[in-house]
Amino acid sequence: MITARVIRISEPGGVEVLRLDQSEIAEPGGSEVLVAVRAAGLNRADVLQRRGLYPAPPGYPQDIPGLEFAGEVVRVGPRARCYQPGDRVMGITAGGAMSTHLLARERELIPIPMRLSFAEAAAIPEVFLTAYDALLIQGGLRAGQAVLIHSIGSGVGSAALQLGLLAGAQVIGTSRSELKLETCRGLGLKHAVLVKDAAFARQVREQTEGRMAQLILDTVGGAYLGENIEALAPGGQIIVIGLLGGARGDLSLNSLLAKRASIHGSVLRSRSLEEKAALAQGFIRELLPRFESGELRPVIDRVMPMDSIQQAQRRMEQNLNFGKIVLQW
Amino acid sequence: MITARVIRISEPGGVEVLRLDQSEIAEPGGSEVLVAVRAAGLNRADVLQRRGLYPAPPGYPQDIPGLEFAGEVVRVGPRARCYQPGDRVMGITAGGAMSTHLLARERELIPIPMRLSFAEAAAIPEVFLTAYDALLIQGGLRAGQAVLIHSIGSGVGSAALQLGLLAGAQVIGTSRSELKLETCRGLGLKHAVLVKDAAFARQVREQTEGRMAQLILDTVGGAYLGENIEALAPGGQIIVIGLLGGARGDLSLNSLLAKRASIHGSVLRSRSLEEKAALAQGFIRELLPRFESGELRPVIDRVMPMDSIQQAQRRMEQNLNFGKIVLQW
């Protein structure tokens, strides 16, 4: 047993329920790896979990937030083959990453490229695995296609922007903040759409010269559903990964049929271990070299000490961040 | 030019607007084939087109209904390679099949198996290509999976039932008519669900022992949207091919995300020629031998003379048919 320092959600509530505490972590068995966590990225799911709205899946701590981490391998289980103590690794987990120690399965881990610090690495897994899965794996985005990315200034948005450009697609990014759009232009965004009153389909038509978007990465949900179908090209695909604009929407099946379009709900957290491992391995093969070369890079809002978790979550709730907030021990 | 006899929609309206008329058909050019139509299947789209609610795509006659046909090749264009005069063929078209003559592109045609009459063949293309595309191509239905097929007593429903059983899937069929369910049991349906008040998810849970349906073939639309998501297994797929229960629905994106599910709108009529040709060629390779062997067979409600088109459409509007209504010259 290792005694780890952790962030504890003492009860559902505001940021004041978050406090430093201790927890016991078991020794690694089988192909498990014990990671000394150096930094953990902050996600909206952490905020929802703190409010009691997004429980961790069975088998994960309910009261320790944290869905991604970067750190150093401390000990490995008897059947672990890929890592040894001292290796720098990052990854996603379904809960409990805001802890000084974490048990991970080695096939879910991703080596940290030389050029990146732990804090930089902690900003990668959730947003880049999500964008990789949605745009490239599920969406099959190809060169020449148009992809519409909502909340382009968010963590997932700025990761998706980079992947879309890497894939040779026409990336159209939306935000309700001109400031965030301006910052994204610095990351290579050429087609920026400022959204007012949840309207954007007309601008997508203009930017694509009528071809519309083959793929839409949506973090908003209900409020954008109608315009999303409007903005979609025939045979196009909407991948919904977040519901910041409401969980219910009035769906025009007529339009869906006429366009032969599809709507996909997608989350990483509830996937099976095998699926997560397959995603991590694909990421290692296809995208990790692009981080090593510097073509892809994490977008970090700020790095804060772990004991500033209350301020960090408040900053996210106020939507003040551009890119990832990272907490480090 | 050939002078063909046709069914004409004189103006949008009730069945009384349908009448026998004449129309000029051009000689086959390129790889076109002139087909002497012997029989044409009746579809709901014909009824909608008559009412003025479902215009034919550009390039197809607006006032001659008919989406599928069986007949004999009369003449072929100078670049046609696959067929010669006398060959028996069937196929889908985006309009104009209720005519004694029709120009078709040869890659969209399907040879008629020896054992089938023209009337039997005319009952195959729309429903079996639709079910083939939805269940096997888009849905990727595999042995051991559970598939929920709504309106199992409809033309598409009874075709999908046969394909689902052929694929080794557990087929659950719904209908609002106990009589139609009973008839489907004769086609091999083991899991029949009588739908009252648009509720069926609970029965799907029972029939699948909690596994739910990996795939749902839906012809109802809005009224079934909520229960469809309820009845779906994690990662499952709803393919909507009809909207008999309304074109709008309240979509719970929460459930869609939680299940990582997807909703697809699908129609054959508006597809590109290339897509339709690819579908026909896949069908020839994969399913035609099963018609030749008798494992698959068209389900025919009744065969009527073409000049009974008014009675035929009325019968469909009153939902009295089980299987296809076929009109023959």
CATH number at residue B18: 3.90.180.10
What pLDDT is recorded for position A249?
A: 87
Residue numbers in B near A264 (CB within 8 A): 256, 260-262
pTM across the whole model: 0.87
What pLDDT is recorded for position A273?
A: 84
């990790």: which residue's tokens?
A: A288
The CA distance from B223 to the nearest CA of chain A, in Å, is: 11
Task: Tell me whether residue B22 is exposed, middle or buried, using C-beta atoms within 10 angstroms of its C-beta: 0 to 12, 13 to 18, 19 or more.
Answer: exposed
Residue numbers in B near A246 (CB within 8 A): 253
Asked if B243 and A253 count as a contact pair (C-beta separation under 8 A), the reply is yes
Domain boundary among B219, B246, B265: B265
Contact A251/B254, CB-based, under 8 Å? no
What pLDDT is recorded for position A270?
A: 79
The residues with which B304 forms a beta bridge, in sequence order, are B327
Does one domain contain both A58 and A160?
Answer: no
CA-based angle B153:B154:B158, to the nearest 5?
A: 65
Would you call B4 helix, strand, or coil by DSSP? strand
Q: Which of B103, B79, B76, B75 is nearest to B30 (CA)?
A: B79
Domain boundary among A238, A265, A292: A265
Per-residue pLDDT reduced to its tens digit, A44-79: 999 999 999 988 988 899 999 999 999 999 999 999
What pLDDT is recorded for position B291?
A: 96
What pLDDT is recorded for position B268?
A: 85
CB nearest B265 (choices: A247, A260, A267):
A260
What pLDDT is recorded for position B243?
A: 86
Does one domain contain both B120 and B24?
Answer: yes
The CA distance from A87 to the nearest CA of chain B, in Å, is: 34
What is the domain range of residue B114?
2-124+269-328
Does one domain contain both B112 and B37?
Answer: yes
Domain boundary among A222, A248, A265: A265
pLDDT in tens, chain B (329 residues): 899 999 999 999 999 999 999 999 999 999 999 999 999 999 999 999 999 998 898 889 999 999 999 999 999 999 999 999 999 999 999 999 999 999 999 999 999 999 999 999 999 999 999 999 999 999 999 999 999 999 999 899 999 999 999 999 999 999 999 999 999 999 999 999 999 999 999 999 999 999 999 999 999 998 999 999 999 999 999 999 988 888 888 899 999 999 999 999 998 887 888 899 999 999 999 999 999 999 999 999 999 999 999 999 999 999 888 889 999 99
Contact A260/B251, CB-based, under 8 Å? no
Flag whether pLDDT at A284 surpasses 90. Answer: yes
Cα–Cα distance, A265 to A16 (Å, whole number): 32
Q: What is the mean pLDDT of chain A?
A: 94
What pLDDT is recorded for position A200?
A: 97
CATH number at residue B160: 3.40.50.720
Flag whether pLDDT at A213 surpasses 90. Answer: yes
Flag whether pLDDT at A244 surpasses 90. Answer: no
Write down the H helix ranges in chain B: 44-50, 118-122, 125-131, 155-166, 178-185, 201-207, 225-230, 253-259, 273-286, 288-292, 309-317
Mutate to test the interface with B, among A251, A270, A271 (most CBs of B within 10 A): A251
- Strands (E) located in B10-130: 18-25, 32-41, 68-76, 88-92, 101-105, 110-111
What pLDDT is recorded for position A236?
A: 96
What pLDDT is recorded for position A54?
A: 87
Does one domain contain both B60 and B160?
Answer: no
The CA distance from B282 to the nearest CA of chain A, in Å, is: 20
Question: How many domains are there within chain B?
Answer: 2
Longest dimension (CA), chain A: 61
Flag whether pLDDT at A320 surpasses 90. Answer: no
